[in-house]
A = this chain, B = another copy of it.
């Protein structure tokens, strides 16, 4: 199904057109209008609590404020001797200062007593500073052993107060907002959250997306193509795209091109429904009609190529995206509309998850004023060449391509040598 890409009539197009027989869209929405409708109707999917160990890459739903100091105590930042700085004043190799060694402080195993100015405690990096000490004398600035009977060291250099000491709260002070709402959690954020004692975090729930893949000609993914039947490419492709954009895929399998079957597939508690196939204006294109009857078909027919037979609407609170069955159209319409909505619902950026670069075209890209074009391209060194494609059904053009170039609606295309923005598939 997927429908044809109906020709659009341009002001300068003087071919005879037989309006009564025309089967294309009577009116086509701009990409801009379709996106504006989506942005107005895509709502965040709510929040949930997840264990920290699986929170990387999730979107923080609330700011996180620390209720502790990190570290919760003063600690050594070097191996050496915890001392009172004033006791080392004037110490040099020629005028060493003797200090009695009265114990050890190790990470997790502090020295319990109090230390006076003529004493020192051996201390390791990360260990708590004993009471009475305010500096660490590095090991290489001390001679060990003062006499046989009394364990001790000789300081051969002076240290100033606070030297080699990490203060309580030096990393995080209690009451600090460590991460803001909306943050996509990085590995080091997980580390910081762990350090303040967070076991779980409140994140934006991942929107559930029901895939409704229609087409009587389709065999399920995993089957071998045979006879006049082709194997579903859109279902597994959409599954990967939805997961990439932070959605949870619900794909119960292929749906026959029948009203009851499609309606039954619309009955879901997912926040979004993506329909693949049967999205145009033919009699066999059931999904737009069903959506109009049972919900709202807000946008149908978009001034773009490919993907013009795309529809957007709602059933109850669920967003519905009707994507063309032709796989390139399906990919393009997903990227323009469905993916954006899923990212918004999941608290993520509206922008494409593709890096972009600039490059000069080796050959022209032609388009028409009044429609946006999605042109697959290949990088050739520092230049970019359009891929010669025979149609919206040639999915392999998107695997041969490194990315795509968008020709805006008000342009007839780009001449060779034009510097264009290339969006790189990832």
A196 at the A/B interface (Cβ < 8 Å)? yes
Selected interface stretch from A181-189, A287-295, A313-321, A361-369: A181-189
Q: A390-416: contact bitstring with B at CB < 8 Å (1 yes, 0 no)?
A: 110111101100000000000000000
Q: A299-318: contact bitstring with B at CB < 8 Å (1 yes, 0 no)?
A: 00000000000000000000
Given the complex, which residues of B lie within 8 Å of A171, measured CB to CB?
393-396
Nearest CB on B from A384, distance (A):
18
Q: A182-200: contact bitstring with B at CB < 8 Å (1 yes, 0 no)?
A: 0000111111111111010
Query: A192 to B395, Cβ gap below 8 A?
Result: yes
Decide: A125 near B4, CB < 8 A? Known: A187-B240, A190-B236, A239-B53: yes
Query: B237 to A191, Cβ gap below 8 A?
Result: yes
Given the complex, which residues of B lie within 8 Å of A394, measured CB to CB?
170-171
Specify how many copies of this chain sit in the oligomer: 2
Give the contacts of A225-240 with B (CB-CB under 8 A): 225-240
A131 at the A/B interface (Cβ < 8 Å)? no
Nearest CB on B from A132, distance (A):
16
Query: B56 to A244, Cβ gap below 8 A?
Result: yes
Query: A231 to B197, Cβ gap below 8 A?
Result: yes
Given the complex, which residues of B lie within 8 Å of A24, measured CB to CB?
140
CA–CA, A221 and B196, complex, Å: 9
Query: B223 to A126, Cβ gap below 8 A?
Result: no
Selected interface stretch from A25-33, A34-42, A72-80, A258-266: A72-80
Given the complex, which residues of B lie within 8 Å of A4, measured CB to CB?
77-79, 125, 138
CB-nearest residue of chain B to A167: B390
Nearest CB on B from A236, distance (A):
5
Given the complex, which residues of B lie within 8 Å of A226, measured CB to CB?
72
CB-nearest residue of chain B to A156: B18
Nearest CB on B from A257, distance (A):
8
Given the complex, which residues of B lie within 8 Å of A375, measured CB to CB?
none
A107 at the A/B interface (Cβ < 8 Å)? yes
CA–CA, A391 and B125, complex, Å: 12
Selected interface stretch from A81-89, A212-220, A340-348: A212-220
CA–CA, A227 and B68, complex, Å: 11
CA–CA, A405 and B381, complex, Å: 27
A-side interface size class = 35 or more
Nearest CB on B from A107, distance (A):
3
Given the complex, which residues of B lie within 8 Å of A224, measured CB to CB?
68, 197
Query: B108 to A236, Cβ gap below 8 A?
Result: no
Query: A395 to B77, Cβ gap below 8 A?
Result: no
Given the complex, which residues of B lie within 8 Å of A217, measured CB to CB?
106-109, 126-127
Give the contacts of A315-329 with B (CB-CB under 8 A): 325-327
Given the complex, which residues of B lie within 8 Å of A52, measured CB to CB?
221-222, 236
- Sample (15) of A-B pairs whose CB atoms are under 8 Å apart: A2-B126, A4-B125, A56-B239, A56-B243, A57-B240, A72-B227, A72-B230, A79-B280, A106-B284, A107-B217, A108-B228, A110-B228, A187-B240, A195-B225, A196-B231
Complex A-B, nearest 10 residue pairs according to Cβ-Cβ distance, in ascending order: A191-B237, A108-B217, A107-B217, A56-B240, A187-B240, A191-B233, A199-B222, A197-B224, A4-B78, A108-B216
Please give the residue numbers on chain A whose beta carbons come within 8 Å of chain B beta carbons, in ascending order. 1-4, 16, 18, 21-24, 51-53, 56-57, 68, 70-73, 77-79, 93, 106-110, 124-128, 138-143, 156, 166, 170-172, 178-179, 186-197, 199, 215-218, 221-241, 243-244, 280, 282, 284, 325-327, 331, 355, 390-391, 393-396, 398-399, 425-426
- 15 more contacts with CB within 8 A, not counting A72-B227, A109-B217, A199-B223, are A2-B126, A51-B222, A56-B239, A79-B280, A79-B282, A108-B228, A126-B215, A127-B217, A171-B396, A187-B240, A188-B425, A194-B221, A194-B222, A195-B225, A199-B221
